[in-house]
Amino acid sequence: MDLEWNQCPSGKEDEVEKLPFEIFEIGAVKLDEDMNRLDSYSCYIKPQVYKELHYIAKGLTHVSMESLNDGKTFADAVGEFIGWCEKDGEYRVCTWGTSDLVELQRNMRYFDISNPFSYPLFYYDVQKLFSIDREDGKSRRALETAVDMLGIEKDIDFHRAISDAEYTAKVMALLDMKKVSAYYSIDTYRTPKTVKEEIKVNYGTYEKYITKGYDTKEELVNNARLLATRCYLCGGTARKKIRWFTMNSKMHYCLAECRQHGYIKGRFRVREDEDGRFYASRVLKITDEAGAEEIRQRQSEVRKRRRDKRQKKKS
């Protein structure tokens, strides 16, 4: 699936707070389990909030307002699209990157449309899968770059929803899905409301944990479940070598050690959900001496900054 969206044409100061981006095109390609192309879906959506195209959207997509004004309402388009997704049974959404699902659900919320997706929502970020399969798992390439790297023919223009969906499907069909299929992503537009709803997934090479929301950052970052470092391979306690510390109040790091599996590096990011509550997405990963040294260096940098700040105050 791919989406195109507009933003306030007169600038950020005039945007609608609850709808910074308004979707005007949905494009999707349906694949079977063997990555064979089954069907496609495409539609324009008539703008209801931003009734002129921002210059960026106009320049990238070359879509005219005349074409969009003949489109469906957002409610009709979403209903039709979800029906198309469901008509062949269970499905999993696949996108290039993480933003499309966020904006789709944000638009649903703004237009008071019931969220049709299961919770928690697991999906495939094909951009991430491409990196895991073809590169280092950390890099994030533009779709056109991945298309070039795989030698896929560029026979249609980019930056149209249906075109980018077609290219994403072609990239996905060339990936080793046996290698990458376990690395599904977890959408966090809707965050856990209770401890029972909290999400913990063991991917084998790392563990991801998503907390429920808290009213304050302080309440979140002092939570014992978030700060715990149990080895995700054996379940044993991993003793802290470097306790959790932060570099910028958003990213937090630690280093622990499991007797059986060695060093484990941890990181979590503090985020704010749509309701203004704070939650964290934590990753624990087995690492080597080089990875442990990286954490030590980060901590040293933080300590140096604090020393410099104290000395500056004294002077």
Residue 81 CA: distances (Å) to CA of 98, 104, 114, 152, 170:
19, 12, 14, 27, 21
* pLDDT at site 59: 87
Q: Per DSSP, what are the bridge partners of residue 255? A: 242, 265
Query: With pLDDT > 90 as the criterion, what percentage of the chain qualifies?
Result: 91
Dist CA 186 CA 174 (whole Å): 23
What is this structure's pTM?
0.90
* pLDDT at site 153: 97
Alpha-carbon dihedral sign for residues 252, 257, 261, 262: positive
- Cα–Cα nearest to 266, from 239, 305, 248: 239
192-216 average pLDDT score: 97
The answer to whether residue 315 scores a pLDDT higher than 80 is no
CB 279, CB 192: distance < 8 Å: yes
Which pLDDT band holds residue 247 (cuts at 50, 70, 90)? confident
Tokens coding 49: 């909030």
Helices (H) and strands (E) in the chain, counts: 11, 12
In sequence order, what are the residues at sequence separation of 6 or more whose Cβ sits closer than 8 angstroms to the Cβ of residue 244? 221, 227, 252, 253, 254, 266
Helix (H) or strand (E) holding 245: strand 239-246
Give per-residue pLDDT as tens, 16-32. Answer: 999 999 999 999 999 99
The answer to whether residue 79 scores a pLDDT higher than 80 is yes
